[in-house]
Amino acid sequence: MNQPTDAMDTNVLQRTSEHLSEKYSGIFSPETVERYVFESYTTLSRTAKVRTHLASTATHFADNRLRALGQSQGSIDSPVPQVLFVCVQNIGRSQIAAALLADHAGDQVEVRSAGSLPGSDLHPLVVEALDERGLDLSGAYPKPLTDDVVRAADYVITMGCGDACPVYPGKRYLDWGLTDPSDVDLDGVRSIVAEIDGNVRTLWAEIRG
């Protein structure tokens, strides 16, 4: 039990809750925001090995989830298509797909990713292979699939996570069969990135219509 760190985090999370309550004033109650912040923190704590920056990562996660929830309820504007990529650990495949689509589509889509059983850290070879393409994953982190991000999505793309994703009407669901980057070396990861890139380009063409 790392008591001092956790006690400090509680203070940070309390301030985060106040800050996000202002940001989402008129959309969500302060109680809802606080619940999102603290539950996001506890959820990430369960799988995070390194606890540095956990409070700021949880803040980002809670903010993103609140935005998704508001978008799904129509209380926050959602001017571009929302795309969600889901794999098992959210340390490889779904992170690759999210980074590539964001790169191709820029601000013409809003991209999220999640995992059914989130890992503790991004796959280092995945980070390296995307870095070779000029894509920076330093802000990315593994996170569990939550109901809010599924609801916000127009497109849900699953990769190896079985039935973990709730099915709601009015969304386009796709399932991509891909090799798990955890099973291969850097060259193998590069091939997986290339394969995902092909899928992502096809998806982006479909989204543009």
Q: Which of 208, 209, 179 is nearest to 196 (CA)?
A: 179
Q: Which two tokens stand for residue 156?
A: 């849900």
Task: Quote the least distance from Cβ 168 to a copy of itself, whole Å.
Answer: 7
Burial status of residue 51 (CB atoms within 10 A of its CB: 0-12, 13-18, 19 or more)? middle
Reported as type and span, the H/E element at residue 162 is none
7 binds a copy of itself (CB under 8 A): yes
Asked if residue 44 lies in contact with residue 58, where contact means CB atoms within 8 angstroms, the answer is yes
Which residues lie across from 157 on neighbouring strands? 85, 174
Asked if residue 71 lies in contact with residue 153, where contact means CB atoms within 8 angstroms, the answer is no
In the window 24-63, what residues touch a copy of itself (CB under 8 A)? Answer: 29, 31-32, 35, 38-39, 41-43, 45-47, 51
In the window 93-112, what residues touch a copy of itself (CB under 8 A)? Answer: none
Exactly one of 33, 91, 125, 150 binds a copy of itself (CB under 8 A); that residue is: 150
Return the range that interacts with a copy of itself (CB under 8 A); candidates 18-26, 89-97, 139-147, 177-185.
139-147
Chain-centre distance of CA 23, in angstroms?
A: 21
Query: What is the C-alpha end-to-end distance of the chain, expressed in Å?
Result: 52
179 binds a copy of itself (CB under 8 A): no
Exactly one of 74, 139, 169, 209 binds a copy of itself (CB under 8 A); that residue is: 169
Exactly one of 68, 100, 165, 200 binds a copy of itself (CB under 8 A); that residue is: 165
Return the range that interacts with a copy of itself (CB under 8 A); candidates 14-22, 129-137, 157-165, 186-194.
157-165
Which residues lie across from 111 on neighbouring strands? 83
Q: Which of 22, 113, 103 is nearest to 61 (CA)?
A: 113
What is the x/- site pattern for a copy of itself, positions 110-129, by CB under 8 A? ------xx------------
Task: Quote the least distance from Cβ 20 to a copy of itself, whole Å.
Answer: 15
Task: Quote the least distance from Cβ 196 to a copy of itself, whole Å.
Answer: 20
Distance, CA of 113 to CA of 124 (rounded, Å): 17
Asked if residue 138 lies in contact with residue 111, where contact means CB atoms within 8 angstroms, the answer is no
Question: Would you tell me which residues interact with a copy of itself (CB under 8 A)?
Answer: 1-3, 6-7, 9-10, 29, 31-32, 35, 38-39, 41-43, 45-47, 51, 69, 116-117, 144-148, 150, 158, 163-169, 173, 175
